[in-house]
Amino acid sequence: MAEPSPAHLRRDAYIYVRQSTLAQTIRNTESLARQYDLAGRARALGWAEHQVVVVDDDLGRSGASTQGRKGFSDLVADVGLGKAGIVLSLECSRLARNNSDWYQLLDLCALTDTLIADADGVYHPGSYNDRLVLGLKGTLSEFLCRIRHKNSYADFSVMPIMRRRRAAGRAGGRERSA
């Protein structure tokens, strides 16, 4: 895990806040609050309050592509310009749900010495070990996104517990082995 250096702390900390649908922004207020609370984590890592930039232009937009995601595009541009010392998100999947967008951000972060942080830790995309972890997180995010867009959460192949409950309902309330 990486630690912020004085060079990182001279630049801004970017907090990326996103939820996929407008309904989520209304119903999942705890998740939204946790994302905004990342500003406190940035301050705990050493950034001053005036250095914390909250990017929340993409609320209600899917991370499946960059189309229509002005906040993500602006974030990538600022990273490329060397303005960011760290990019924080609740989980890496908040940033991008496809590998082309994810690796573009990772490459820019590695080139500009910008850290990435989520709930699991602080990573330096220029470090092979950290990049490996971030790459796995990005690949899993894309995989899960594709499953979600192909199937709904109510699809029994995605949510096996639902298959067991449905089968139990047909068996007169007794749960059968699936």
> Can you count the helices (H) and strands (E) in the chain?
8, 5
17, 54 contact by CB (below 8 A): yes
Alpha-carbon distance of 148 to 21, in angstroms, equals 13
Alpha-carbon distance of 32 to 44, in angstroms, equals 20
Catalytic residue among 5, 20, 62, 141, which? Answer: 20
DSSP 94: G
152 classed as catalytic: no
Alpha-carbon distance of 159 to 153, in angstroms, equals 6
Residue 28: which of 17, 19, 41 has the closest Cα?
19
The residues that are catalytic are: 20
